[in-house]
Structure 1
Amino acid sequence: KAGAPEEILYVSKPHIGTFRLVSMIIKMRAEIEALGGEIRFQQKVTDVLIEDGPDGRHIRGVTLESGEQISASHVVIALGHSARDTFQMLHARGVQMEAKPFSIGYRIEHPQSLIDAARFG
């Protein structure tokens, strides 16, 4: 739907590529916002709002560093791999987490002369 090739559903180690990823992210963001979702940047989450229900515990929102609380039926916390403070907070709150079996990277291209100078002086 966002433009990824169909084989990402069954290839063991799919590669989308930077050239596709940028347009896919734009489409995904537009779809989330069209459905009433909100995407925030540069907002530090300091706590999660947890609700106990008959079918277990669920995250029902977040508290931001500013003190603002945002309630939601679904929360996506896309924090990458270096947000140790957030991982520690989630663990302390008893949020179940699991390691991802994949990662997303990006490509940087440099002139060969720059690489040679960095490697060989």
Structure 2
Amino acid sequence: MYEEKPFNTAEMQKRVDDFISQYKEGYFSPLSMLARFSEEVGELAREVNHYYGEKPKKPTEKENTIEDELGDLLFVTISFANSLNIDLSEAFDRAMSKIEKRDKDRWTRKDAEVNENE
């Protein structure tokens, strides 16, 4: 049914909506979505801490990956956007335009290093 990869944002939003729309309960309320989002960020933080931090996994803990947790976070993000009728492509474009303008001179450009060495 959804075998083609990669998905564009509209396809991801539709796939999530197709799944959620099967159920009478539908999308959670915005407050519940935010709580769910926070839970997923916490799970991602835990995995990052296990891989890169000072807190190794206990032998009894199930194996998760950062990739899995990012996928869960993406699902919740898409669900949240869908529940509020937000087009993530448009939201992303606005965010990137803002960041590209605001942060264009914030860090050292790689091409600046090349020019300095010439």
Q: TM-score, with normalisation over the residues of structure 1? A: 0.31
Q: TM-score, with normalisation over the residues of structure 2? A: 0.32
Relative to its length, the structure with more strand (as a share) is 1
Relative to its length, the structure with more helix (as a share) is 2
